[in-house]
């Protein structure tokens, strides 16, 4: 009797083939799901702003949303009109603004010019913030999962922290340059590849291109990252001198090639920043170190911090956008524990030491604990007056801790999940570690950023009526825009960047060439700002009138504009009327003074 051999049907073969094809895709599907999760989280944080792009304004951004939208708008204007992208006179007319010495973010504002033109600068601003958070997390996940740890779970946890840590969310209220950090992980990656034996010249070229892109996105974050990398390199060299010497020549060659590539590409913008028109030598901020108590405090925009409550971090931070060290005490304890557990791992030990040093630098020249000064000096004492460092807020150096903490979390998670022990011990370790992560990370989960309704631009600007008053000069808002009130920048954007504004909100030189926020104030602008603040009509003198005429001539002013409904509008109108001896007249929803003839008349200019 013949033995019957079972045969596979066609459907069986197809199922096996499908299984073979499916398995390699599973990791990529996991990657896609994780990155999609990052994007969804960023969208949820900015959902209130996305749902009201026409009138939404990040409540705690101060005047920064106006400023950043203006940077995107002026870049699009310069690109569209083939004008110099490094300079403009649309603010601070006629002296202008050195855009290269400000945070114009050419690396994103130029490629996103079509978005700005088609959908407006608010859409670009919101897109950069949303994409910045998601992109930073996704970039760190890619680097962690492919090159630093073997656990996708560990990489996802570390990357999520890197993208959505409390300091990142704090800056997400207003500062795209501190949110869009997705180039940084790849700079770290190429340094790592060079150390691991990649060709130094070719890798140096790639490294130089990445650094150049980051220069055009944000120089200050690059400086903080470079400081972090130098501290890490010195720390690692002391711990592993033999390995450091073995890779020093290759790394040095690659860094030289990278620096050369970067300098060639960025030479003109960098020269313009430091030596071009309206450049400045340094931007002093005073002592702005982190209070040691802030490291264990909870950020305002977090579950434990009370969400969008007011003044939760009062006294421990400059403002809502500078909560740079609010990691929460549970995470601090967990990181201390991880540091101890991984101390024998040289790379982890170097990362941990670097983290503590960066935190120490961020505390400033002298350590402050809960508002009380101590005699303990910080490394900032050696750095605060050095070139480049003198323009940086020392509090922001604690952002260098964020990726270091993310790396430590990823490494610890990997070791727990790969633990070689009996099943019951492995399960106990996993449960313990997951519980620690929940306790440490759940309180600092970010809450949606609060959005309020922005002040609408006057119809005088939005419907083009301004064209009848602006000939070849400038618009003078009453009072002129400044750091505390930059709504006029929004009016200018709504009018298609069709006219220049006097003074404004930017960084430029004072009379001595030192950096300041805004323009050096004229007597006339100070008078109008005083009235707007105090609500009292200013007692104008003949000297004030003489100086006002001089200021108008310097500004090449065509028209002064006071929107109806402005706070203290009656006092402001009375003061301008007294200064000009001209009552002006109402036009639509503004009060205007046509001063074209006056500003073009001959006379003494006090400049």
What is the DSSP code string of 135-202? HHHHHHHHHIIIII-S-HHHHHHHHHHHHH-HHHHHHTTT-GGGT--TTHHHHHHHHHHHHTT--HHH
Q: Which of 52-66, 303-317, 535-549 has the lowest mean pLDDT?
A: 303-317
Instruction: Identify which of 369, 381, 384 has the alpha carbon closest to the alpha carbon of residue 285.
Output: 384
Strand partners, 302: 446
Residue 3's pLDDT band (cuts 50, 70, 90): very low
Q: Where are the beta strands (DSSP E) in 512-572?
A: 515-517, 557-563
pLDDT of residue 488: 97
Tell me the average pLDDT across 30-48: 96
Residue 287's pLDDT band (cuts 50, 70, 90): confident
Share of the chain above pLDDT 70, in %: 93
Domain limits of the chain? 459-600
pLDDT of residue 599: 74
pLDDT of residue 606: 57
pLDDT of residue 25: 61
pLDDT tens digits for range 176-209: 999 999 999 999 999 999 999 999 999 999 999 9
CA triplet 137, 181, 343: central angle to 5 degrees? 65
pLDDT above 90 for 256:
yes
CA distance 280 to 301: 35
- The answer to whether the CB of 188 falls within 8 A of the CB of 210 is no
pLDDT of residue 2: 42
- Phi and psi torsions of 366, nearest 5°: -130, 140
- Who wins on pLDDT, 129 or 375? 129
- In angstroms, what CA-CA distances link 394 with 293, 376, 486? 16, 16, 26
Tell me the average pLDDT across 97-115: 97
Residue 5's pLDDT band (cuts 50, 70, 90): very low
CA distance 433 to 158: 14
CA distance 487 to 338: 48
Residue 28's pLDDT band (cuts 50, 70, 90): confident
Strand partners, 593: 560
pLDDT above 60 for 312:
no
pLDDT of residue 318: 86
- Who wins on pLDDT, 379 or 21? 379
CA distance 249 to 244: 9
Cβ neighbour number for residue 375 with a 10 Å cutoff: 6
Tell me the average pLDDT across 551-558: 96
pLDDT tens digits for range 313-338: 657 888 899 999 999 999 999 999 99
Q: Which of 141-150, 310-319, 455-464, 580-589 has the lowest mean pLDDT?
A: 310-319
Q: Cα(first)–Cα(last) distance of the chain, in Å? A: 116
Residue 497's pLDDT band (cuts 50, 70, 90): very high
Number of H helices, E strands in the chain: 24, 12
Residues 6+ positions from 556 with CB-CB distance below 8 Å: 93, 94, 472, 473, 474, 599, 600
Averaged pLDDT score across all residues of the chain: 92
Can the peptide bond before residue 479 be classed as cis, meaning omega within 30 degrees of 0? Answer: yes
Share of the chain above pLDDT 90, in %: 84
Residue 559's pLDDT band (cuts 50, 70, 90): very high
CA distance 504 to 487: 10
Tell me the average pLDDT across 50-79: 97
Cβ neighbour number for residue 164 with a 10 Å cutoff: 24
CA triplet 72, 78, 84: central angle to 5 degrees? 120
Instruction: Identify which of 238, 156, 590 has the alpha carbon closest to the alpha carbon of residue 414.
Output: 156
Burial (CB count <10 Å: 0-12, 13-18, 19+), residue 172: buried
| Threshold 0.95, pTM exceeds | no
pLDDT tens digits for range 357-404: 999 999 999 999 988 888 888 899 888 888 889 889 999 999 999 999
pLDDT of residue 19: 42
CA distance 102 to 71: 9
Buried b (16+ CB within 10 A) or exposed e, 353-363: bbbbbbbbbbb
Buried b (16+ CB within 10 A) or exposed e, 98-122: bbbbbbbbbbbbbebbebbeeebbb
pLDDT of residue 371: 84
> Which two tokens mark 82?
């083939």
């Amino acid at each position: 009797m013949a033995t019957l051999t079972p045969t596979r049907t066609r459907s069986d073969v197809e199922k096996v083939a499908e299984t073979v094809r499916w398995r390699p895709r599973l990791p990529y599907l996991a990657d896609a799901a994780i990155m999609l999760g990052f994007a969804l989280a960023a969208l949820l944080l900015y959902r209130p702003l996305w749902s009201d792009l026409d009138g939404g304004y990040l409540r705690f951004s101060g005047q920064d949303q106006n400023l950043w939208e203006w940077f995107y708008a002026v870049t699009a204007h310069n690109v569209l009109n083939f004008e110099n992208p490094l300079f403009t006179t649309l603010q601070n007319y006629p002296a202008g603004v050195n855009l290269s010495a400000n945070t114009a973010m050419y690396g994103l504002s130029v490629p996103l010019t079509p978005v700005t033109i088609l959908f407006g600068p608010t859409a670009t601003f919101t897109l950069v913030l949303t994409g910045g958070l998601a992109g930073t997390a996704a970039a760190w996940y890619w680097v962690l999962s492919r090159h630093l740890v073997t656990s996708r779970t560990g990489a996802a946890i570390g990357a999520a922290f890197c993208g959505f840590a409390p300091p990142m969310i704090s800056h997400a209220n207003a500062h795209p340059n501190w949110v869009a950090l997705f180039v940084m992980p790849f700079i770290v990656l190429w340094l790592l590849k060079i150390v691991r034996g990649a060709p130094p010249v070719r890798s140096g070229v790639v490294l130089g291109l990445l650094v150049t892109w980051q220069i055009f996105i944000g120089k200050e974050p690059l400086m903080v990252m470079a400081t972090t990398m130098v501290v890490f390199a010195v720390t690692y060299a002391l711990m592993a001198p033999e390995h450091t010497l073995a890779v020093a020549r290759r790394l040095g060659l690659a860094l030289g090639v990278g620096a050369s590539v970067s300098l060639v590409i960025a030479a003109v913008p960098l020269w313009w920043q430091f030596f071009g028109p309206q450049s400045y030598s340094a931007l002093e901020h005073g002592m702005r170190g982190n209070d040691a108590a802030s490291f264990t405090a909870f950020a305002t925009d977090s579950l434990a911090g009370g969400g969008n409550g007011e003044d939760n971090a009062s006294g421990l931070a400059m403002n809502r956008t500078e909560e740079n060290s609010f990691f929460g005490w549970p995470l601090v304890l967990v990181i201390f524990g991880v540091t101890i557990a991984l101390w024998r791992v040289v790379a982890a030990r170097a990362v941990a030491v670097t983290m503590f040093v960066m935190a120490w630098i961020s505390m400033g020249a002298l350590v402050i604990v809960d508002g009380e000064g101590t005699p303990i000096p910080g490394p900032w004492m050696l750095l605060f007056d050095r070139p480049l460092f003198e323009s940086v807020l020392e509090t922001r150096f604690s952002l260098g801790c964020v990726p270091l903490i993310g790396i430590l979390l990823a490494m610890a998670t990997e070791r727990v999940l790969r633990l070689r022990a009996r099943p019951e011990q492995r399960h106990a370790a996993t449960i313990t570690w997951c519980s620690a992560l929940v306790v440490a990370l759940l309180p600092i989960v970010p809450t949606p950023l609060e959005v309020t309704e922005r002040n609408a631009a006057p119809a005088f600007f939005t419907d083009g009526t301004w064209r009848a008053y602006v000939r070849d000069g400038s618009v003078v808002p009453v009072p002129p825009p400044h750091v505390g009130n930059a709504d006029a920048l929004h009016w200018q954007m709504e009018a298609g960047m069709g006219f220049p504004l006097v003074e404004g909100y930017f960084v430029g030189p004072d009379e001595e060439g030192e950096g300041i926020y805004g323009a050096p104030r004229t007597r006339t602008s100070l008078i109008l700002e005083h009235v707007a603040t105090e609500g009292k009509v200013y007692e104008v003198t003949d000297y004030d009138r003489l100086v006002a005429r001089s200021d108008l001539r310097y500004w090449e002013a065509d028209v002064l504009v006071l929107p109806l409904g402005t706070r203290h509008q009656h006092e402001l109108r009375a003061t301008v009327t007294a200064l000009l001896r001209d009552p002006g007249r109402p036009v639509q929803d503004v009060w205007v003074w046509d001063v074209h003839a006056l500003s073009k008349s001959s006379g003494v200019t006090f400049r």
